[in-house]
């Protein structure tokens, strides 16, 4: 499952309501800013969530009682900030120009970190990018896009790194309603990278927000440029295939009609599970109206959650949804929810006062990481942790991703305002007597999507070769690699620990309902 993680920075302008991104209200100038000009921080090229150019009248009213409140657990007591110990290692030099606020995502299979566009020296808009393979430690440039440069576009990376762009605002301020997708070498028979145009979609021109899943279904919401219009919603079944939307029902049982949520001051769509996105409409009273769409059931009853319409993008990674936002009193707050059932929602312990809520947010193993602030919330201990400082000083507007057991922080602006094109890899310290499995994580052999059907498997490991961890089932031996963050502990008996330190597997035991977060890349194995 992939969900776009967007780098954000900057302040909001009151003339235009931009929810959750920190992107400045104005579009970049059609003419590049001379490189000799002072550094300008224009925020992010991706609005998160997509903004409307003004608050609709309906959004000035409190949500009606028909939207039942979601179950929300109260905030836990304030806890002292701890330390997430580990080391920083410099990443290899990138083959693209220095920038901040780039659109950033990580592929669900293969773990490639994809960086596109952003703002370079003097705040000029860039329209190129690169991918970083964390397993190999190598960069690759991305071919030139056939699309005109733009900001506020829907951005999603799926599969092994195929990139999706839709909509946005051109440099001259023109709303756009076109898109393209990139097919990566891993998805082709040759070594080339190819862009292809996306078909016409039942979406309004202008800013867009996109999210996708492991099956390459991509969901898009576009609010358009008229605040009185309802936002349009559509999704694509398979990258580059046809769109499904209000005029193209998926099936007679579940026509893809508009989400049953009121107009808002900002919108987003997130996909915590396979083919089951959440549509979110932000309200001016500090709440959001949320409805889930399912293939065979259509839209769920909308629910109201205490998700402020402030700065901060969502982080989505099974088994969690997570946000860090700015409350009405200006203090940062964190809100998380289980991905599969999206409830109950709960507050995190109180974030440190200096938490950056308009920075990039990603999930690591059991940690919600605010990359610009180098802060992490541990779901296991329910407390915030500080990462070690970057060796070359703090940055804002960074691109960040968790892959291959490490946190990658790249680009951004330094304290003196200069943009950078280098980065660092954070490797957390492991507990004693623990071995981290090598290589990119593949799912174990549960059902596709991680719902955790009865797998009934037995775990084995070779003490002479700790890389040999395997399942015995169906009369066969199946080698496996556990997802990022899972570790194997060698002591009196071999056990597998989840990212929060809980034992999920013991050697020789018959196991049931093992919930692993991703589908295996080599197909399902049934026991």
Q: How large is the average pLDDT for residues 285-305?
A: 86
Summarised one tens digit per residue, pLDDT across range 366-385 is 889 999 999 999 887 889 99
Q: What is the Cα–Cα distance from 17 to 15, expressed in whole angstroms?
A: 7
Range with the poorest average pLDDT among 44-53, 75-84, 94-103, 309-318: 44-53
Range with the poorest average pLDDT among 82-91, 247-256, 328-337, 448-457: 448-457
Query: Going by DSSP bridges, is the β-strand pair 510-511/457-462 parallel, antiparallel, or unpaired?
Result: antiparallel
Q: How large is the average pLDDT for residues 233-252?
A: 73
Summarised one tens digit per residue, pLDDT across range 352-363 is 988 888 888 998
Residue with the larger pLDDT of the pair 321 and 3: 321
Q: Cα-flanking dihedrals φ and ψ of residue 366, to 5°?
A: 70, 15
Task: Say what the pLDDT of residue 116 is.
Answer: 96
pLDDT band at residue 526 using 50, 70 and 90 as cut-offs:
very low
Q: How large is the average pLDDT for residues 138-160?
A: 90
66 Cβ neighbours under 8 A, 6+ residues apart: none
Task: Say what the pLDDT of residue 477 is.
Answer: 65
Helix (H) or strand (E) holding 73: strand 72-73
Q: How large is the average pLDDT for residues 227-254?
A: 74
Other Cβ atoms less than 10 A from the Cβ of 300: the count is 17
pLDDT band at residue 518 using 50, 70 and 90 as cut-offs:
very low
Task: Write down all domains in the chain, each with its CATH number in brackets.
Answer: 5-428 (2.120.10.80), 437-511 (no CATH)
Counting Cα atoms < 13 Å in the Cβ hemisphere of 467 gives 4
Q: pLDDT at residue 195 above 70? A: yes
Task: Say what the pLDDT of residue 253 is.
Answer: 56
Tokens of 164: 């999706």
Q: pLDDT at residue 415 above 80? A: yes
Q: pLDDT at residue 520 above 50? A: no
Tokens of 397: 């507007």
Task: Say what the pLDDT of residue 119 is.
Answer: 95
Range with the poorest average pLDDT among 25-34, 60-69, 131-140, 406-415: 25-34
Task: Say what the pLDDT of residue 237 is.
Answer: 76
Q: What percent of the chain has pLDDT over 90?
A: 30
Task: Say what the pLDDT of residue 107 is.
Answer: 81
- Whether this prediction's pTM lies above 0.85 is answered by no
Task: Say what the pLDDT of residue 149 is.
Answer: 97
Q: Cα-flanking dihedrals φ and ψ of residue 264, to 5°?
A: -140, -175
Q: Is 275 left (phi over 0), alpha (psi -120 to 50) or beta?
A: left
Q: How large is the average pLDDT for residues 262-276?
A: 83
Q: pLDDT at residue 503 above 50? A: yes
Task: Say what the pLDDT of residue 521 is.
Answer: 34
Task: Say what the pLDDT of residue 127 is.
Answer: 97
With b for 16 or more beta-carbon neighbours within 10 A and e for fewer, the 199-221 pattern comes to: eebbbbbbbbbbbbbbbbbbbbb
Given a contact cutoff of 8 angstroms between Cβ atoms, the answer to whether 405 and 488 are in contact is: no
pLDDT band at residue 463 using 50, 70 and 90 as cut-offs:
low
Task: Say what the pLDDT of residue 41 is.
Answer: 56
Q: What percent of the chain has pLDDT over 70?
A: 68
Length of the chain: 527
Where in 274-360 does DSSP place strands (E)? 276-282, 288-294, 298-299, 303-305, 315-317, 320-326, 332-338, 345-347
Residue with the larger pLDDT of the pair 345 and 498: 345
Q: What is the DSSP code string of 257-282? A: ---S----SEEEEEEEETTEEEEEEE
Residue with the larger pLDDT of the pair 163 and 525: 163
Mean pLDDT, the chain, rounded, equals 75
Given a contact cutoff of 8 angstroms between Cβ atoms, the answer to whether 398 and 410 are in contact is: yes
Which of 15-19, 263-267, 440-444 has the highest average model confidence (pLDDT)? 263-267
Tokens of 273: 């599970």
Task: Say what the pLDDT of residue 54 is.
Answer: 53
Task: Say what the pLDDT of residue 15 is.
Answer: 22
Matching residue, tokens 């892959």:
403
Q: Cα-flanking dihedrals φ and ψ of residue 17, to 5°?
A: -85, 115
Task: Say what the pLDDT of residue 468 is.
Answer: 67
Q: pLDDT at residue 165 above 90? A: yes
Q: pLDDT at residue 527 above 90? A: no
């Amino acid at each position: 499952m992939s969900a776009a993680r967007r780098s954000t920075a900057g302040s909001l302008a009151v003339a235009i309501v931009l929810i959750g991104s920190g992107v400045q209200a104005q579009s970049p100038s059609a003419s590049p800013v001379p490189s000799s000009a002072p550094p300008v921080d224009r925020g992010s090229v991706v609005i998160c969530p997509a903004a409307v150019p003004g608050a609709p009248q309906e959004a000035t009213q409190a949500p009606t009682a028909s939207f039942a409140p979601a179950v929300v657990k109260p905030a836990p007591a304030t806890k002292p900030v701890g330390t997430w110990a580990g080391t920083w290692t410099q990443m290899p030099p990138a083959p693209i120009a220095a920038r901040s606020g780039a659109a950033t995502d990580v592929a669900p299979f293969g773990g490639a970190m994809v960086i596109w566009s952003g703002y370079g020296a003097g705040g000029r808009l860039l329209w190129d990018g690169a991918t970083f393979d964390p397993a190999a430690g190598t960069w690759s440039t991305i071919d030139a896009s056939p699309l005109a440069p733009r900001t506020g576009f829907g951005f999603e990376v799926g599969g092994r790194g195929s990139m999706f762009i839709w909509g946005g605002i051109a440099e001259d301020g023109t709303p756009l309603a076109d898109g393209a997708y990139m097919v990566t070498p891993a998805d082709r028979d040759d070594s080339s990278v190819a862009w292809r145009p996306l078909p016409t979609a039942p979406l309004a021109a202008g800013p867009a927000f996109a999210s996708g899943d492991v099956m390459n279904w991509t969901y898009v919401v576009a609010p358009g440029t008229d605040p009185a219009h309802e936002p349009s919603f559509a999704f694509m079944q398979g990258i580059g295939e046809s769109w499904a939307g209000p005029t193209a029902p998926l099936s007679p049982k579940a026509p893809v009609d508009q989400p049953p949520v009121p107009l808002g001051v900002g919108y987003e769509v997130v996909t915590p599970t396979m083919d089951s996105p959440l549509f979110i409409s932000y309200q001016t009273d500090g709440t959001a109206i949320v409805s889930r769409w399912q293939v065979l059931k259509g839209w769920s009853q909308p629910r109201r959650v205490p998700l402020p319409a402030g700065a901060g993008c969502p982080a989505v990674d099974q088994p969690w949804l997570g946000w860090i936002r700015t409350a009405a009193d200006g203090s940062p707050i964190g809100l998380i929810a289980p991905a599969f059932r999206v409830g109950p929602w709960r507050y995190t312990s109180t974030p440190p006062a200096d938490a950056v809520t308009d920075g990039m947010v990603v999930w690591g193993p059991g940690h919600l990481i605010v990359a610009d602030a180098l802060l992490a919330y541990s779901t296991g201990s329910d407390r915030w942790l500080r990462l070690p400082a970057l060796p070359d000083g703090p940055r804002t507007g960074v691109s960040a991703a968790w892959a291959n057991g490490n946190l990658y922080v790249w680009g951004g602006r330094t304290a003196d305002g200069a943009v950078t094109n280098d980065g660092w890899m954070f490797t957390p310290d492991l507990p004693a007597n623990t071995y981290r499995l090598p290589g990119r994580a593949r799912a174990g052999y549960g059902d596709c999507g991680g719902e955790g059907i009865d797998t009934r498997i037995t775990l084995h490991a070779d003490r002479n070769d700790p890389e040999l961890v395997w399942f015995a089932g169906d009369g066969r031996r199946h080698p496996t690699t556990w997802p990022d963050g899972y570790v194997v502990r060698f002591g009196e008996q071999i056990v597998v620990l989840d990212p929060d330190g809980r034992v999920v597997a013991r050697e020789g035991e018959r196991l049931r309902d093992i919930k692993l977060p991703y589908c295996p890349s080599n197909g399902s194995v049934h026991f």
